[in-house]
Amino acid sequence: MKMDKQPTPLERFINGILPENPVYRQVLGMCPTLAVTNNLKGAMTMAGAVCFVLLCANVITSLIRDLLKPHLRIVVFTLTIATFVTIVDRFLAAYMYQMSKQLGPYVPLIIVNCIIICRCEVCASKQPVITAAADALGQSVGYAMALASIAFVREIMGTGMLFGFRVLPAVWPDWVIMILPPGAFLTLGLLMGLVNFVIMRLSSTNDKHAGGTA
């Protein structure tokens, strides 16, 4: 049977950052993206947690990929992801208690985060461990960057602080709406529009060049 050319580990890694960015391109995992981007510290903690779970789930799924049959796939994915999320949640509660309280129920919600199930399904269940791990890392980096961009905007405009340190001068009237729910939706929507715009521009200049040389 002829196999299609599967993406290499490096390709998977780079894909995860912008072309297949989980938040801006695939529009997955919206729930924690909106909820924890009040401040940069929470956003980075969430990104770290997702990275751990994604990496472990991808590696384990890739190790057992030959033994998985279609009807059992979802059960195994769910069990794996739920276990690792429990581990991360307990770890945060033990060693970063305040952050765990701030993130609240959004850490367990990583279980139903579409990103992880999607990556397990699309990549880890079909490709060897190294590729799966590279894919996990790439997606995590992309996710972290997306979260950081949103949290940066929200925290600076909403409180004038970054990572808890006052950055803007006191004359800045804190736009409290930015750290409340509406601010989350608006920021993400507008940033998504911006990313779409940039990508459209890039692809249209590429087409122009290609069309010109053809």
Partner 1 sequence: MNYLIDILLIAVSAALINNFVLYYFVGICPFIGVSRQIDMAVGMGLAVTFVMCIAAFLSWTVTTFILIPGALLSKLVAGFFVSPEAASKVDLTILSYIVYIFAIAASVQFVEMYVRRFFPALYKSFGVFLPLITTNCAILFACLTIMSHVAGVDNPADAWDLGRALTLAFFGGIGFTIAIVIMAGIREELDFCDIPQCMKGPAITLVVAGLLSMAFMGFTGVDSGLKKALKSRSVKNAALEMKIENYDVTSVPGTARAHMKNMIASKEHPCLS
Partner 2 sequence: MNDSLNGKNSGKLRVKKNFMIQAWLVLFLSVFFGVSLAAVQLTLSPKIKANKLNETMKNVPGLLPGHYAPDALKISRRFLTAVSGGVKKSYSLFTAMSGKTLVGYVVKASGQGYSDSIDALIGLDASLSRITGVFILSQKETPGLGGKITDPEWRAQFIDKPTDRPLKVVKTGARASNEIDAITGATISSRSLCSIINQAVSDVKGILESNEKSSQQVTGVNENG
Residues that bind partner 2 in the complex, under the rule CB under 8 A: 64, 67-69, 72, 75-76, 79-80, 83, 86-87, 90-91, 93-95, 97, 101, 158-159, 174, 176, 179-180
- Rounded to a whole number of angstroms, the minimum distance from the CB of residue 137 to partner 1 is 23
Comparing CB distances to partner 2, the nearer of 33 and 100 is 100
135 binds, among partner 1, partner 2, none (CB under 5 to 8 A by kind): none
Out of 89, 99, 103, 124, which residue is the one contacting partner 1 (CB under 8 A)? 89
111 scored as a contact of partner 1 (CB under 8 A): yes
- Which partner, partner 1, partner 2, none, binds residue 76 by CB below 5 to 8 Å per kind? partner 2
Residue 16 contacts residue 137 (beta carbons within 8 Å) = yes
Cα 104 from Cα 132, distance rounded (Å)? 29
46 in Cβ contact with 92 (< 8 Å): no
- The smaller minimum CB distance to partner 1, of residues 29 and 160, is found at 29
190 sits near partner 1 (criterion: CB under 8 A): yes
Residue 48 interacting entry, from partner 2, partner 1, none, C-beta within 5 to 8 Å by type: none
Q: Please check whether residue 89 is in contact with residue 81, taking contact to mean a CB–CB distance below 8 angstroms.
A: no
Q: What is the CA radius of gyration of the chain?
A: 19
Report which of 60, 80, 65, 191 is spatially closest to residue 136, judged by C-alpha positions: 60
Q: Does 200 bind partner 1 (CB under 8 A)?
A: yes
Q: How far is the CB of 35 from partner 1 (least distance, A)?
A: 5
Cβ neighbour number for residue 190 with a 10 Å cutoff: 11
Q: Which is nearer to partner 1, 44 or 177 (CB)?
A: 177
Of residues 43, 21, 27, the one with CA closest to residue 151: 43
DSSP result, 119-180 = HIIIIITTS-HHHHHHHHHHHHHHHHHHHHHHHHHHHHHHHSEETTEE-S-TTS---GGGGS
By CB under 8 A, name the binding residues for partner 1: 27-28, 30-32, 34-35, 74-75, 78-79, 82-83, 85-86, 89-90, 105, 108-109, 111-114, 117, 177, 180-186, 188-190, 192-194, 196-197, 200
